């Protein structure tokens, strides 16, 4: 009544105010302000009331719990809490918030109460909490001991006869939700006897679908544990599932779906799979699948159909299952049904799963090689005691390392049916096992690892710290223009081979210079046949006589080029010159002197090459060595016109400023390779300029399996004997289809992925298909729009010297070639993968090159560094190129130092110079990640430019750069390893100076900087990523790592400066290819020996990163939908520099007052604007959710987890308090 009277008085007052005299309006403004103030106060009061209400109810419940009060009160309080939890997200959030005791109170009450309704109320509250909150709230419930309490409740409830249906439904529902988040759930359930309780409930209530459904969901969770799965199978659960599933029915579809999921999980156990095979269930599954396929006309039950296929996929994991599948005509059934599903895009999962099953059941073939070891061998100075290289060296020569002796091992049940098995390995829901959880290991502990005396060996690589610049001319002058003074050159001759000394039968054949060119076969046969089956050594190769005075000069073939191109190649010029005649080359064209020659000597034999590596073709064979050394086809003397060669001159537009073909050839002469390469690939000689057009991500034509390949056609010629080349063997399987086999990394038997090879002899208008059949990565962006790269020599001669994306009908899939356990790290039953693509060549008889990604050779790097050094202004730029060390094969590993020269040699200027913070950059530790070198090229060019921003950057930092950490791997065409056969990015913890010299000394440089108290502000290692789009970073954070383990109680006590996020966030603003949502700052156990983690943990660099660049393209920002090219990669390298400049301004606002206009100067140098076209590039305030590939990675078998995929573990969400931490604050970490 009182409230009503107040309301009535308020209404009367309002009416009076409305009818008041105009004079009253004078105080209206004051009253309105007062009214607004009162309204502002009402909201927090109401909020406080609601918060106090749930807090009060929980406190009341806790009191009831402590006093063992009457059940009626507990029933009333829990019903009130349930109402609030159902109606308000705020209540649910508060009950699971940090520091809240709500969950403990509910679980304690649930454990102690005897009242059924109270129990049901609390279970309903828990269902509300976990249903709306996702994984975090479920994990929170698990950490509070919820699963154990609920399992005990299940045990107690099962003792009633009959059990209470509603109670059982609720318990099973919530256990099915929290079970996947509890790593020990399988053990707990088995110890509590919950398995048989749930199973018996299903057996006794098959018609009660409301009860059976949550029970089946929980059985699915139980079955994730191998021991539980075997135990359930012995108790008849497999037979029970086949009572629930059956032919097509419109009823109970959800129940059938869950039963199929449970069955698929159960059949992953080999024991259960054999039981299913013995009872003829493979035939039953195929019959049921066909029935659902025929009747599900509207495709509403696609998930059920996929569930049947998943069960078939599980049962065919064993050899008996595969045999039963083939005997039941499963190949034909799945092939026919897949053909009918192709027309409907939503049925892609069915087609993909069917393809997986068919590929798995297809008989395994042996890879057509005598050994999977690399074709080339390099004797190591030290043999490792343990590891894959030690195993490789200890393998007896008679052991067949291509396939295992028997595949029957998969029928031996090795599942432990006792309590000692590792419960975690088989639960597919847990993917955080690799994350480091030991706080002590996570905490950075600066450890030099070497004595100060030992580290003094690096003093000479830091002259900038002691130089007094007395001998330098530091007077300011006009900047020297950033152009290269090229000398006027004569015709540039394209060299393709050098002298090769004959060795054993397995070595390269020697090219003998003879005056007379013997004919091959009949007189009328003008072309090389390359089809001679009878001769293994083709001794009548066309050769050319040496020029007088030009010792050891040889000519290689220009394979398959027509004579017009050959003549043009004789006289290639990059600029107009008055004379068309090169020194030492007469205008008269003679048969014994038809081409100019170049000095490219290779007098060494190839004793390390295995004989198996030389045969390129199989069937129609030709030796790879001979193919490389085949002479250029020339016409008869009476038909060849002298003037045609004399007048042949092709204009090639200027390439990149840093490219100099003459210099490249000189550098190649000093590059040492294991195969003794004596040939230069045309793309590396001509150079590459980015094409002027965009290359969109390839849209795969829907519903098309593969294009038909015509049967007519000549045999193509292949070659890979040049720097960074990789192609081991070619097998022609149809007229215009070829299987290609890659070479493994030297001193290794795997890591097949990088390819770079030459093709010639093609016809115009013919589709050629190439299948690279021994790839190892379990998935690739080739399935999601990436194309291989092709370089056409004819196009280069026509003024278009660039790599372009080429190929259609591209697919990456698991094939039927078996990979031995030796090549799969001890795992049996693995298969290789195939990249297949179809190409129509643009010109007849062209010479084309194919590559995994844009090639960037070691010689190219050396050429670029020399050009940068010769072109820089020494009065403005401090540039040094030192040798860090020599590699195993004797190549030098360059170390570059870049900064700005001091203004003068006065003390103040020298102090400013020496006190600049260091930035340490490295790249190309993995040879196959060539995009890292292109990004590094962009960084180097930017740092050496005359751009005002670049000058400010040089004045801000001293850059120490190791642009290629693995020169030997790059030179020899490896994908991942050095000549030691090891991944160098897994050697940073304890590098061996004899086996890993580049890593040992690069780490030594960082240790030296730490010893002299000059810790780098930033360390970044450039990499490439094969299965993600965009450019992104991996960093190191204790808090984010602990947070990823779902251990909220531990992570909440860790405080650290979030400055490690600043540089990635800056890049997300200024670099259009960079994506913050793909970044991760989690430290994984498998990465503890990488540069990023070691430099962070041991050296103490907080901003220690790996920057990953996509091999494919971007799905956000300015380049969305485009494949990435060298222009974008170089731009990323330049943008990284600009990001460092902005980082400098943020970290040192007082000492570094740069005009803001300069911070936007990068767009003048990089002709691209960074307009934000996608929200994923604008993430400074709040990070986007992690990027997930839109297309289903169904080409990957689910039983193979790849370490690289574990890198992307989601994005951390820092609290508001952490977000405001300034980079200028000192880094601090408080640990418990």
Q: What Rg do the C-alpha atoms of the chain give, in angstroms?
A: 36
Given 128, 795, 1108, 1184, the catalytic residue: 1108
DSSP-based three-state secondary structure for 859: helix
Half-sphere exposure (CA, 13 Å, Cβ side) for 401?
21
Closest CA to 1024 of 698, 780, 725: 780
Rounded Cα distance between 179 and 188, Å, is 10
Distant-in-sequence, close-in-space partners of 975: CB < 8 Å, separation ≥ 6: 726, 745, 751, 752, 753, 754, 926, 927, 928
Distance, CA of 21 to chain centre:
77
* Cα distance between residue 1130 and residue 1128, in whole Å: 6
Token reading at 52: 């106090």
601 burial type by CB count under 10 A (0-12 exposed, 13-18 middle, 19+ buried) = middle
Q: How far is CA 1090 from CA 672, 700, 914, 1020, 1087, in A?
A: 27, 36, 30, 12, 5
Cα three-residue angle 683-689-690, rounded to 5 degrees: 120
DSSP character for 613?
Answer: G
Sheet holding 756-760, edge to edge: 717-719, 756-760, 847-851, 789-792, 804-805
Residue showing tokens 């007048």: 647
Which two tokens mark 387? 């590891």
The span from the CA of 1077 to the CA of 1065, in Å, is 10
Read off the DSSP letter of residue 554.
B
List beta partners, residue 758. 719, 849
3-class DSSP assignment, residue 789: strand
Question: Which residues lie below 8 Å from residue 997, measured CB to CB, with a gap of 6+?
Answer: 885, 886, 887, 888, 893
Residues present in the chain in total? 1232
Active-site residue 908, yes or no?
no
Pairing outcome for strands 617-618 and 650-651: unpaired
Q: Rounded to whole angstroms, what are the CA distances from 1123 to 345, 616, 788, 923, 1109?
A: 24, 32, 11, 22, 12
Distance CA 202, CA 208 (A): 9
Q: CA 153, CA 167: separation in Å to the nearest integer? A: 10
Given a contact cutoff of 8 angstroms between Cβ atoms, the answer to whether 1010 and 1099 are in contact is yes
Q: How far is the C-alpha of 150 from the C-alpha of 192, rounded, in Å? A: 11
Q: At what angle do helices 226-234 and 237-244 cross, to 10 degrees?
A: 80
CA count, 13 A, side-chain hemisphere, 907: 0
**Chain centroid to CA 418: how far?**
38
3-state secondary structure (DSSP) of residue 1055: strand
**DSSP H or E run through 1189:** none
The pairing of beta strand 756-760 with beta strand 717-719? antiparallel
Could you tell me how far CA 811 lies from the centroid of its own chain?
A: 18
CB-CB contact of 85 with 126 (8 Å): no
Q: Tell me phi and psi for residue 1053, to 5 degrees.
A: -90, -5
Would you call 105 helix, strand, or coil by DSSP? helix
d(CA 265, CA 220): 7
Beta bridge mates, 732: 738
**Residue given tokens 């697919």 in the structure block:** 811
- Main-chain phi, psi angles of 886, to 5 degrees: -100, 145
By annotation, the residues acting in catalysis are 1108
């Amino acid at each position: 009544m009182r409230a009503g009277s107040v309301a009535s008085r308020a209404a009367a007052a309002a009416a009076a105010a409305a009818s008041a005299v105009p004079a009253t309006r004078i105080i209206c403004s004051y009253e309105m302000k007062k009214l607004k103030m009162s309204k502002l106060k009402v909201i927090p009061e109401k909020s406080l009331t609601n918060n106090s209400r749930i807090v009060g109810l929980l406190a009341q419940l806790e009191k009831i719990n402590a006093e063992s009060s009457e059940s009626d009160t507990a029933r009333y309080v829990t019903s009130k809490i349930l109402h609030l939890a159902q109606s308000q997200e705020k209540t649910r959030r508060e009950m699971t918030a940090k520091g809240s005791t709500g969950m403990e109170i509910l679980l304690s009450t649930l454990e102690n109460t005897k009242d059924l309704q109270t129990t049901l109320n609390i279970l309903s509250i828990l269902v509300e909490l976990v249903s709306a909150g996702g994984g975090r709230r479920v994990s929170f419930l698990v950490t509070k001991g919820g699963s154990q309490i609920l399992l005990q409740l299940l045990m107690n409830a099962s003792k009633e006869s009959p059990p209470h249906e509603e109670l059982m439904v609720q318990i099973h529902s919530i256990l099915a939700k929290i079970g996947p988040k509890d790593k020990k759930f399988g053990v707990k359930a088995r110890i509590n006897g919950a398995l048989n309780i749930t199973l018996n409930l299903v057996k006794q209530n098959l018609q009660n679908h409301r009860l059976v459904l949550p029970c089946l969901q929980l059985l699915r969770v139980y079955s994730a544990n191998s021991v539980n799965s075997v135990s359930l199978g012995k108790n008849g659960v497999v037979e029970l599932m086949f009572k629930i599933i059956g032919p097509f029915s419109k009823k109970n579809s959800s129940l059938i779906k869950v039963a199929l999921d449970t069955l698929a999980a159960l059949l992953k156990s080999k024991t259960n799979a054999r039981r299913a095979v013995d009872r003829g269930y493979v035939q039953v599954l195929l019959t049921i699948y066909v029935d659902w396929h025929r009747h599900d006309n509207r495709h509403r039950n696609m998930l059920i159909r996929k569930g049947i296929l998943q069960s078939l996929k599980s049962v065919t994991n064993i050899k008996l299952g595969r045999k039963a599948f083939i005997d039941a005509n499963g190949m034909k059934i799945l092939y026919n049904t897949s053909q009918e599903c192709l027309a409907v895009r939503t049925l892609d999962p069915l087609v993909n799963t069917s393809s997986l099953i068919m590929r798995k059941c297809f008989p395994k073939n042996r890879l057509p090689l005598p050994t999977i070891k690399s074709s080339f061998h390099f004797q190591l100075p030290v043999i490792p005691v343990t590891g894959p290289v030690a195993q490789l060296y200890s393998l007896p020569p008679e052991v067949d390392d291509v396939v295992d002796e028997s595949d029957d091992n998969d029928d031996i049940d090795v599942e432990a049916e006792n309590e000692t098995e590792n419960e975690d390995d088989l639960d597919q829901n847990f993917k955080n096992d690799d994350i480091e959880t030991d706080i002590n290991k996570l905490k950075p502990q600066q450890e030099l690892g070497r004595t100060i005396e030992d580290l003094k060996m690096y003093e000479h690589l830091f002259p900038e710290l002691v130089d007094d610049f007395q001998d330098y001319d530091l007077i300011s002058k006009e900047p020297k223009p950033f152009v290269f003074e090229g000398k006027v050159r004569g015709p540039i001759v394209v060299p393709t081979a050098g002298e090769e000394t004959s060795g054993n039968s397995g070595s390269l054949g020697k090219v003998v210079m003879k005056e007379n060119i013997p004919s091959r076969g009949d007189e009328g046969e003008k072309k090389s046949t390359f089809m001679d089956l009878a001769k293994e050594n083709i001794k009548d190769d066309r050769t050319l006589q040496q020029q007088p005075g030009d010792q050891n000069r040889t000519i290689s073939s220009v394979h398959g080029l027509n004579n017009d191109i050959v003549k043009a190649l004789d006289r290639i010029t990059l600029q107009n010159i008055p004379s068309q005649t090169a020194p030492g080359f007469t205008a008269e064209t003679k048969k014994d002197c038809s081409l100019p020659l170049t000095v490219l000597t290779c007098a060494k034999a190839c004793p390390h090459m295995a004989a198996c590596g030389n045969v390129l073709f199989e069937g129609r064979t030709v030796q790879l060595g001979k193919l490389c050394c085949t002479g250029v086809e020339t016409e008869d003397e009476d038909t060849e016109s002298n003037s045609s060669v004399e007048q042949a001159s092709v204009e090639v537009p200027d390439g990149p400023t840093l490219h100099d073909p003459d210099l490249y050839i000189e550098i190649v002469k000093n590059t040492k390779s294991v195969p003794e390469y004596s040939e230069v690939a045309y793309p590396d000689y001509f150079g590459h300029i980015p094409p002027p057009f965009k290359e969109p991500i390839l849209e795969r034509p829907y519903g098309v399996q593969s294009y038909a390949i015509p049967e007519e056609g000549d045999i193509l010629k292949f070659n890979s004997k040049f720097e960074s080349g990789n192609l081991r063997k070619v097998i022609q399987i149809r007229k215009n289809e070829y299987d290609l086999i890659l070479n493994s990394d030297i001193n290794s038997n795997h890591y097949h992925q990088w390819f770079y090879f030459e093709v010639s002899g093609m016809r115009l208008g013919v589709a050629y298909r190439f299948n690279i059949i021994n790839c190892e990565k379990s998935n690739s962006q080739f399935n999601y729009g990436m194309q291989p790269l092709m370089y056409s020599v004819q196009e280069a001669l026509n003024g278009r010297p660039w790599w372009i994306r080429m190929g259609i009908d591209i697919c990456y899939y698991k094939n039927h070639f078996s990979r031995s356990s030796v090549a799969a790290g001890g795992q049996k039953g693995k298969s290789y993968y195939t990249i297949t693509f179809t190409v129509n060549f643009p010109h007849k008889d062209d010479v084309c090159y194919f590559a995994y990604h844009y090639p960037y050779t070691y010689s190219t790097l050396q050429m670029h560094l020399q050009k940068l050094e010769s072109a820089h202004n020494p009065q403005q730029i401090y540039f040094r190129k030192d040798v860090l060390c020599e590699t195993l094969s004797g190549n030098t590993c360059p170390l570059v130092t870049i900064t700005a020269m001091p203004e003068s040699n006065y003390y103040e200027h020298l102090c400013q110079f020496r006190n600049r913070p260091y930035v340490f950059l490295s790249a190309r530790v993995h040879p196959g990640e060539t995009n890292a070198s292109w990004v590094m090229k962009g960084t180097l060019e930017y740092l050496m430019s005359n751009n005002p921003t670049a000058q400010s950057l040089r004045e801000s930092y001293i850059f120490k750069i190791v642009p290629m950490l693995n020169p030997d791997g790059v030179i020899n065409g490896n994908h991942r390893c050095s000549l030691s056969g090891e991944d160098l990015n897994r050697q940073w913890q304890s590098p061996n100076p004899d086996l890993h010299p580049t890593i040992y000394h690069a780490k030594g440089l960082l240790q030296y900087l730490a010893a002299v108290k000059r810790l780098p502000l930033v360390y970044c290692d450039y990499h490439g990523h094969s299965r993600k789009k965009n450019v992104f970073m991996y960093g190191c954070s204790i808090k984010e790592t602990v947070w990823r383990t779902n251990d909220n109680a531990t992570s909440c006590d860790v405080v650290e400066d979030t400055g490690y996020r600043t540089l990635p966030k800056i890049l997300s603003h200024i670099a259009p290819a960079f994506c913050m949502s793909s970044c991760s700052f989690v430290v994984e156990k498998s990465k503890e020996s990488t540069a990023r983690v070691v430099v962070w943990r041991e050296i103490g660099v907080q901003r220690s990163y790996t920057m990953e660049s996509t091999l494919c393209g971007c799905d956000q920002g300015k380049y969305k939908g485009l494949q990435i090219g060298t222009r974008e990669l170089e731009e990323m390298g330049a943008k990284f520099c600009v990001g460092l400049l902005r980082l400098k301004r943020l970290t040192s606002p007082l000492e570094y007052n740069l005009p803001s206009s300069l911070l936007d100067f990068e767009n003048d140098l990089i002709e691209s604007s960074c307009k934000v076209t996608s929200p994923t590039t604008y993430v400074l305030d709040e990070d986007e959710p992690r990027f997930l590939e839109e297309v289903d990675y169904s080409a990957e078998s689910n039983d193979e987890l790849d370490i690289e995929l574990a890198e992307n573990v989601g994005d951390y969400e820092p609290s508001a308090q952490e977000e405001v931490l300034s980079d200028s604050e000192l880094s601090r970490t408080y640990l418990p």
